[in-house]
Each structure stands twice: as structure tokens, then as C-alpha cells.
Amino acid sequence: MNSNFRLDWLSLLLYLCLVTIGLVNIYSATYDEAATSFIALRSPMGKQVFFLFLSLGAIAFILAAPFKFFERFSSLIYLVVIILLIGLFPFGSTISGARSWYSFGVMNLQPAELAKMAVALAVAKLLSEIQVDIRRFKSLLQVGGVILLPAFLIVLQPDPGSALVFGAFLFVLFREGLSTPIMLTIAGLVVLFILTLVAPLPFVYVSILFVVISLYFFSKRVNDKTPLLAYILSVLISIGYVYSVDYIFNEIFEQRHRDRFNIVLGKEVDTQGIGYNLNQSKIAIGSGGWEGKGFLQGTQTKGGFVPEQHTDYIFSTIGEEWGFVGSAAVVLLFTLLILRILGRAELQKNKFSRIYAYGVASIFFVHFVVNIGMSIGLVPTIGIPLPLVSYGGSSLLAFSLLLGIYLNLDGNRLNETSF
Amino acid sequence: MRTYLLQSITVIVAGIFLYRLLDLQVLNTNYQTLSENNAVLEIAEYPERGFIYDRNGTLLVANQPAYDVMIIPENVSPFDTLSFCQLTGISKKQLIKNLRKARRYSKRLPSVVVNQISKETYARLQEQMWKFEGFFIQKKSLREYRTQHGANVLGYVSEVNNNDMRKDPYYRLGEIIGRQGVEKSYETALRGSKGKKFLQKDRFNRIMGTYKEGSYDVPPVPAQDIQLTIDAALQAYGENLMQNKRGGIVAIEPATGEVLALVNAPSYDPSILVGRKRSANYRKLANDSLAKPLFDRGLLAQYPPGSPFKTLNALIALQEKVITPKTKYRCNKGHYYARGAFMECHCKRGTKNDLTKAIYRSCNTYFSNTYREIIDKFDTPEEGVDQWKEHLKSFGLGNYLGYDLSIGRPGHVPGAAYYNRAYQKGQWKAPTIISNAIGQGELLTTPIQLANFTAAIANRGYYYTPHFVKKIGKDTVANQLERKTTSIDPEHFDVVIDGMHKVVEKGTARIARIRGIEVCGKTGTAENFTRIDGKITQLTDHSIFVAFAPKENPQIAIAVFIENGYWGARWAAPIASLMIENYLTGDTRRPSLEQRMLNGSLEEEYLKPISGQPFVINE
């Protein structure tokens, strides 16, 4: 460790808070009155504690790593992760329909989680190189390729939820100068993609028309000179895109892919199509009141009404047992963490460090918005975990590494000149 | 600008999330209720309904377990109706009907879908219960009768109807409520008060245990047992004696007002109103418009009291000092009480009766004269009649007695107001209303009123309101009752009692004599009419007998009333006598009389008015 190392204590503290909240609520959500020992290694709680120690060890190790280590090895890390992702196809094991895991006895490792970190490193590396300019088409293709390759491999597993998270890098690209129309186009395509999968087609078509017509009249008002033809074209392209996504999903995908999408989109347990899990999650959170029902006192949690409550719906346990106070605290902790990292990112003199930190914040942001948003019914159901809080060893480890590298880079902020 | 985009979005998103959470968790309380419906099951805990004992501690009514399948319509999701019907043995049509009824009653509150399933069905169904979301099984208890008698006193229980639930929000669909008898009058004591129990459910609707360690539970208030004043053996004996006859017997312990027996004939076995056949059996009873087994004659039948009423007129006359025990009237097989109006009597021509003789010979002439003396003592007949009525009211006539069963009739004692309406003011005098002298005319009494005034005579001037319950839980009812004194001074009773004693010793009711027991009584007959094809037709007289025994320190006062039994000594007197003997000695020494009464039937008499043929009465 260099002499000028300044640890971002606030982020580390926020990290520890979130992890603790996670453990308490995983314990509650998986609590079984009949179980004898407090924490068995085979129980979800036991595994989570094991991974926490592993993560803390990894963070310590990363902090001890020399400055520039990650910048230098980012390409290698990216390569390893890509190999791991490809290796899943012959060697991975399938859990609930997706071939996303390497199985080590009791423990499972999910490379897709590590891919977020690897892509963050690779994007930072690429964009920080002098000859790369995101405003140039060639560079855009390069960066796009770096992001989309793992995303594509992950979609094939198929794990569309995890793949979607790579959309977070749009924020990074935008920050680094991606032009607004391209940004809007890509964001529009991502939104349309999700919409096509969760909403009925006619609704999607009508929405497209509505948005484009609104835009057209708005542009007239502000004397924008975009020709009408552009709007008509964008409508046609959008409809064609939606149609092909729908076609690919229904005709080209195999049933197992569709099943997996349906799991991620929460349609699996909701056979009657009435938003069962969302409804149960809302009931659980809504019944919490100001202060919640108390630790291990949640009736919805105890009754197991909310599916996947220790993983994707962990926030409903927090909402029920800790009430508004608890859930607001979690929202604020995340907001603080994201803002903190973004703030620190802008202070970096090293472009690599800044872009990487920005990537970290973006990934946290997407998880935060999608997960909590779906738990309280503001975002369509997409099964991705709440970082550091949800049950899941790979996820905890990956987010710890992600944050750990940020802490390393940020801590060495002042060493830039000495290099 | 680019550097602040994500920061701004983050802050905006956090704001939206916080607002949404505030709305979900704090502002909108719907979710709390939803959560409770979802995860908490409220079930009622019923205390076991109180037992009913007779005055000697014999258990008459207990409970037996039964199981109901209940639903909460809101929680029901589509289920396999076929397997449900097979398991419970209910028809699909009935199931659909019951489900609709439950939904109409309440979506949130439990209703019964299948009533009283057997233990075997219960066991089979319990295993499959998880398949039927929104259904659960509730144990309840049914009445178990250890006696076949006294249905009219015990009453019965049945499920509450909409009306009951409207009147008292305590009740929920499927619960039971006492109907008739002590089950109704002592409903709150017998049922206790149900408790509430909250259970935690999981998403498969399985019960996981108590909710919050039962901290919201309300324990049920145990029911209280009831001890009746009824003597079960005497009640049974009375019902046996009344076989194939119609009528009523009321026996009272004079010293306390405790009703020893209240027999209604025909009667029914109370256990037929329990279980799944209840409604069919009930319909049969309720539709029997001829024998009317549900019509409790001891409490509801109103008839002119006839001759027993003469004892009261005698007492009033003595109190009003219009006669003395030595006053005599001459009877010529009757007498003219007004010009051209002759009242017959069965005394021989030229008989001179004093009060005692007049009672045991039931002399109409004597009591006509006496009654006229009472009315004429006052300046106007209005005053006279009202004074007379006041005396009768003090014996509990002309109004509800106020006993502890919910049904009854006031009877009727006409007063001045009544006659002023019936005739015109100033247009009536003592002779106009002379039939009151012999208990006929506009007078109406119920058998329990007869028994009650007999008890008042036996007590020499007071009575306690008749009642059917001795103890509620550990509280003795008797302590709370107030002695009601009649308007007749005690010294006037002896001569009337002496007359009543002689009725049995050498008068009209010698058949009621019991060796070794001094019985005092008075026979009566009551004319009665019915409408056949719109024509008022007279039927055979009702046979009436009132009595008490022993003469000194009386233990039992009794009124027996046999529909169309002809004269008092024919049926009513022997039955009353057998009842008295049975109660006082526990046995009978007159087996032949007992057999005659047990086997005697009046069914032929009852067929006459419905036969459509012309018939002879009083034969």
C-alpha cells in the first residue's frame, strides 16, 4: 500500500451497514422455528455468512494491491471472465432453468456477477486510452462490443435479468461524451425491449405512437427543424424492433428460454396473471406501517407469501418488519452510497479511476432502481438482486469486489502524480 | 450537465421511492388489513354450552361433538368441487347454494358450508384440507339429551337466522341460539361468551401456530350449567299419564314457586331436534295443526276456569265480608238469577248449603248469590266488578305471570271497562255478568295460572312467581324472588281449604283420594267451541282439576287440564291424584287406576270434529 493511501471510510461504512441489514433480513426471511442450530453452513444464512467473510477478505486483499494493478490487469480480468462465461456452456450447472453457475459442492459461483466488475474495468480501460473517443463511431463500436459480448453470453444462459444490468454502462458512456440522440436511441431500445416482454403488444404499439406524436408536437413548439419523415421513420423502426423482439422471443427462443424469461419477469408464480408476487410484496411492505412489525414478527414473511423473499424480494421483509423507518433507511443508504461514489468519481485525476467509479455507481443505481422499484410496484418485475442485501454468495462477492476496487482506486487518488 | 445527470436521477428516484413507501406503509392502511386477511386467521372459540340438570341433579341435557366445514368466501380460490363433494357427501347443487349464501352473508366472515360432518368424514377431510383454500373445519358441539321428556321446558337450539344476527351482532352465521324453553330464556348463561383466537397462516393456508403468541386472543367466557326446578321423574310420569290425550299439567311447589312439572301432551323427544334430521323433524312437528305438539298448553291454553274458580269467589266474598262461613243459600236444582233466567245446579231441590258444602258440592246457586253480594256491596256494579278484579289480580290472574319462559298468555279477567264496552254503561248489573260466579263467561285462565292460584290457596295467601330454574351456575334463583301476597287475609283460607279437602273426601273428586295424604282439590269442566265449516260448534268439555297436598304444609300444587276430557273427575282428577302420590311417595298404590289412566285414550274424541260426520258431545 502506498504512503498516500486515503481510504473512503464513508463508503466502507455504508457497505458494512448494507451487508448487516442484509444478514438480519435474510435470517428473518429464511427463519425456520424448527431449525436447531443458529447458523448451519448448509442453510442460506450460513452460506451468506461464509461469503461475507470471503468478501471481506477479498476487499482487504484488494486494498493491499498496488495502485495501477487493476488498470494494468483489467484486460486480463475481462478475458478470464469471458472465458468463465463461455466455459459455462460445457461445464456450468443449471439452476432454475439457467446455466449460470459453477458448482462447488455446497457453494455455487455465478460468473455473470463478476462480469459486471470485469466490464466496468474494461470500459474504464478502453475509454481512458488516448486514441479512443466515444464520439467517434469506431470507438463506440469498440466499447459497445466490450459491453455487449458478456451481456450476449449471459442472455444465452439464459439470464436476461443479469444481462439487462449492462444497460447501466449507458450512464458511463453518456458521462464520457456519448451523443444525446444515440443515448436516447439506445435507452429507448432497452425500454422497448423490456416493455415488449412484460406488456401486451398493442399496448406497446400505442405507447410508441403516443410518445412519438407528443415529441413531434413538442418539437414544433420549440421550432425544432427535424422533418416529419424522421418521426415516421422512428415509429416504423420502433414497431419493427418490437415486432422482431416479440418474434425472437416467441418463435426463435426455445421454451426453456421463455421459461427463464418468465421466471425473471415474475410470471412463473403468477399463473393467473394478476401480479401475485408484486401484490404480496406490496402487502408485506404496506403492512409494515411506521416502525414495522419487528424482527421475526412479519406475518407475510413468516407465512412465506412473497416468493423469492430472501433473494429478489428481500426489500419486502425489510418493509414489513422494519416499516417505513427501516425501508427509508435502506433507500437513503443506497442513495448516499451512489452519490458518494459519483461525487468521488468526479474528483479523480486519473481518467481510468473516474470511469471505473462511475461504472460502479451506475451498476449500483440500476440494481437499486430495478429491485426496490419492482418490490414497491413502480418498475416491472425483473429478477435482479438488491446489492449487498439480497441473499446470494456470488452477488455479495461480486459487489464487494466491485466496491473494493473502487476503494483501492479512490484511495490512491493522490498517488497519480507520483507515478 | 452530463456530470450531474446520474446524480440528479438518483436523487429524484430516491424521492419517488420515499414518497411511494410513505404512501404504501403509512398513508394507506389498506395493506395492513390485507396482510391480516392474508396471514392471520381469526377463529372463534366457543365455550361448551352449559348442561341442564333437574332439581335433583339428574343430568338432562349435555353436549356431543360435531364438525362444521366453514369458509371465508374472500379467501376461496378455485377448487376441485368434485373431490370436495365426494369427501363431504354434499351434493354439488347444495354446495353451490351454500357458497352463494355464504358470499351473500359476508365475504370476510366465516360461514358454514357443510353442517355437522361425522368424525370419520372429519378425519378424511382434514388430510385434504390444504387443497381447499379458504375452507377450514370448526369443531362445535351439539346438544345431547339424556331424557326423552320435558321438550317444552328444555326448548331446543338451532342455527341463528338473519333476524337473530340483526338483533344481536354477537351471532355469526352457523352459530346456535336457544329457541323456546330454558334454552331461550337462559341463552346467555348457557352459551357463555365466545372467545377469539388468532392464528398465523402460510401461503398454502396452513395454520402455522398462534399469531403473536396469542397476545390478541380473547379467551371464551365459560358457560354456566343450569339446574331446573323440574323433577325429571315427575315430568316423565306426567307425560306418560298424558299419552293419547291432549292437555297440560302444571305442578308447583307452593312454598317456593318452583315448577315441578310442566307437561304438554302430545309431546316429543327433544333429541329429534338435533343433528341433520332436525329441520325435517321440526317441520313435521310444526305442521301438525291438529295435535299441535309445539303448542305448550300448560302456558298457552286459555279457557274459562270453570268450577275451581268458585274457591276464589268464596275467598273474595269472605274478604269483602258479604258472607261468613255459616252463610247458607237454598238451592232448588238451580235458581232464577233474573226474571226468566234460570241457572241450573246439580244440588237436589231444597238443599241448604253452607260455604264448605257449597264448595264440595260445587253449588252454582250458592256462588251466584255470593257473587251478586260481592258486586252489589258497592254503589255501582262498576266499582263492584273492579274490586273483584283487583282481588283476582293479586292471585296472578288476568295478566302474564312473569315466569322465566318466553311464552305465555295473560288470560282474561273482565272489569268494568270491559263490560261498559260490551254492554252500555248503566246497562249491566250483577245478573248480567253472573257467569263469572262459576268461572264461565268472559273469564280466561291458563293452566299455570290455575296451578299458581291453587298454590296461593295452599299457602294461605301468598305465592312466589312460578319459575323453572333453581340455579344458574352457583347462583340460586330462589333468593332473588319476592313473595307476592294476595289481597285475602290468611284467616279466610281455612274454610275454603276445608271445602277443597271435602271435595276429595266426599265430594265430586273422591276418585282423587289418596290413603294417608290429605288432598285438597276442585274439579272443573270448561265448555269449549270450535269452528267447523264456518259454524261454531260445541265440543266435549275440557276436564279440569286443581289440587294441592298435603293439606297442612303443602308440597305440591297442581293443575291438570285435559282437552275434551268431559268432566273434571273423569280424567283430570285421577291424573292429578296419581301425580301427587307419585311425587310425595315416589310410588302408587292404585295400579289399576294408574293403568286406566296410562292406557286411556281420547283419540276418538279428537277425531270427531275432523271426521266430517255429525257427532255427539259429552257422552
- Kindly identify which residue of chain B lies nearest to residue A326, measuring between CA atoms: B21
Strands (E), A2-104: 93-95, 98-104
- Does some domain include residue A224? no
The number of distinct structural domains making up chain B is 2
- Does some domain include residue B182? yes
The residue-averaged pLDDT of B46-50 equals: 87
Test mutation, B31, B76, B210, chain A, max A CBs within 10 A: B31
Query: Mean pLDDT in chain B?
Result: 87
The residue-averaged pLDDT of B270-293 equals: 85
- Does some domain include residue A238? no
pLDDT, position A275: 64
Q: With cut-offs at 50, 70 and 90, classify the pLDDT of residue A365.
A: very high
- Kindly identify which residue of chain B lies nearest to residue A315, measuring between CA atoms: B21
**Looking at A174-178, A196-200, B467-471, which range is the least confident one?**
A196-200
pLDDT, position A264: 64
pLDDT, position B240: 92
The residue-averaged pLDDT of A70-90 equals: 92
Across the interface, of A302, A303, A339, the residue whose CB is closest to B10 is A339
Across the interface, of A174, A327, A342, the residue whose CB is closest to B7 is A342
pLDDT, position A3: 61
Q: With cut-offs at 50, 70 and 90, classify the pLDDT of residue A94.
A: confident
Across the interface, of B7, B17, B34, the residue whose CB is closest to A331 is B17
Across the interface, of B35, B201, B212, the residue whose CB is closest to A287 is B35
- Per CB-CB distance under 8 Å, the chain A contacts of B14 are 331-332, 334-335
pLDDT, position A366: 94
- Count CA atoms within 13 Å of residue A187 on its CB side: 15
- Does some domain include residue B26? no
The number of distinct structural domains making up chain A is 1
**Looking at A274-288, A356-370, B439-453, which range is the least confident one?**
A274-288
Instruction: Assess A365–B contact: CB distance below 8 Å, yes or no.
Output: yes
- Does some domain include residue A234? no
CB-CB under 8 Å, B35 with A299 = yes
Domain that holds residue B375: 233-275+297-611
The residue-averaged pLDDT of B602-606 equals: 85
- Does some domain include residue A219? no
**Looking at A248-252, A342-346, A356-360, which range is the least confident one?**
A248-252
- Kindly identify which residue of chain A lies nearest to residue B206, measuring between CA atoms: A303
Kindly state whether residues B181 and B122 are assigned to the same domain.
Answer: yes
Evaluate if residue A272 carries a pLDDT over 70: no
Q: With cut-offs at 50, 70 and 90, classify the pLDDT of residue A418.
A: very low
Query: Does residue B211 or residue B515 have the better pLDDT?
Result: B515
Q: With cut-offs at 50, 70 and 90, classify the pLDDT of residue A274.
A: low
Which helix (H) or strand (E) covers residue B201, if one does? strand B195-201
Which CATH number goes with the domain that contains B76? 3.90.1310.10
Give how far B72 is from chain A: nearest CA, Å: 18
pLDDT, position A273: 53
Give how far B30 is from chain A: nearest CA, Å: 8
Domain that holds residue A261: 9-198+253-415
**Which ranges in B425-540 belong to alpha helices (H)?**
447-458, 493-505
**Looking at A302-316, B206-220, B234-248, which range is the least confident one?**
B206-220
Kindly state whether residues B322 and B370 are assigned to the same domain.
Answer: yes
pLDDT, position A35: 58
- Does some domain include residue B13? no
Tell me how far apart the alpha carbons of residues B222 and B224 are, in angstroms, rounded to a whole number. Answer: 7
The residue-averaged pLDDT of B388-404 equals: 91
The residue-averaged pLDDT of A101-111 equals: 84
Tell me how far apart the alpha carbons of residues A387 and A288 are, in angstroms, rounded to a whole number. Answer: 22
- Per CB-CB distance under 8 Å, the chain A contacts of B39 are 299-300, 302-303, 305
Q: What percent of chain A has pLDDT above 70? A: 91
CB-CB under 8 Å, A287 with B32 = yes
The complex scores an ipTM of 0.89
Kindly state whether residues B259 and B145 are assigned to the same domain.
Answer: no
B576-579 long-range contacts (CB < 8 A, ≥24 apart) are B576/B249, B576/B512, B576/B521, B576/B545, B576/B546, B576/B547, B577/B509, B577/B511, B577/B512, B577/B513, B577/B514, B577/B519, B577/B521, B577/B547, B578/B237, B578/B241, B579/B234, B579/B237, B579/B238, B579/B241, B579/B249, B579/B251, B579/B261
**Looking at A298-302, B374-378, B579-583, which range is the least confident one?**
A298-302
Query: Does residue B516 or residue A301 have the better pLDDT?
Result: B516
CB-CB under 8 Å, B40 with A286 = no
Q: With cut-offs at 50, 70 and 90, classify the pLDDT of residue A374.
A: confident
Instruction: Assess A175–B contact: CB distance below 8 Å, yes or no.
Output: yes
Kindly state whether residues B170 and B308 are assigned to the same domain.
Answer: no
Domain boundary among B228, B255, B286: B228
Kindly state whether residues B267 and B211 are assigned to the same domain.
Answer: no
- Kindly identify which residue of chain B lies nearest to residue A33, measuring between CA atoms: B208
Instruction: Assess A290–B contact: CB distance below 8 Å, yes or no.
Output: yes
Tell me if A279 sits within 8 A of A316, measured CB to CB: no
> Any idea which residue has 507515478 for its cell?
A419
- Max mean pLDDT among A28-37, A222-231, B245-254, B526-535 falls in B245-254
Q: With cut-offs at 50, 70 and 90, classify the pLDDT of residue A256.
A: low
Q: What percent of chain A has pLDDT above 90? A: 37
pLDDT, position B206: 67
Evaluate if residue A325 carries a pLDDT over 90: yes
Test mutation, A283, A301, A348, chain B, max B CBs within 10 A: A283
What are the tens digits of pLDDT across the range B342-368?
888 888 888 888 999 999 888 889 999
pLDDT, position B453: 94
CB-CB under 8 Å, B201 with A297 = no
Kindly state whether residues B338 and B410 are assigned to the same domain.
Answer: yes
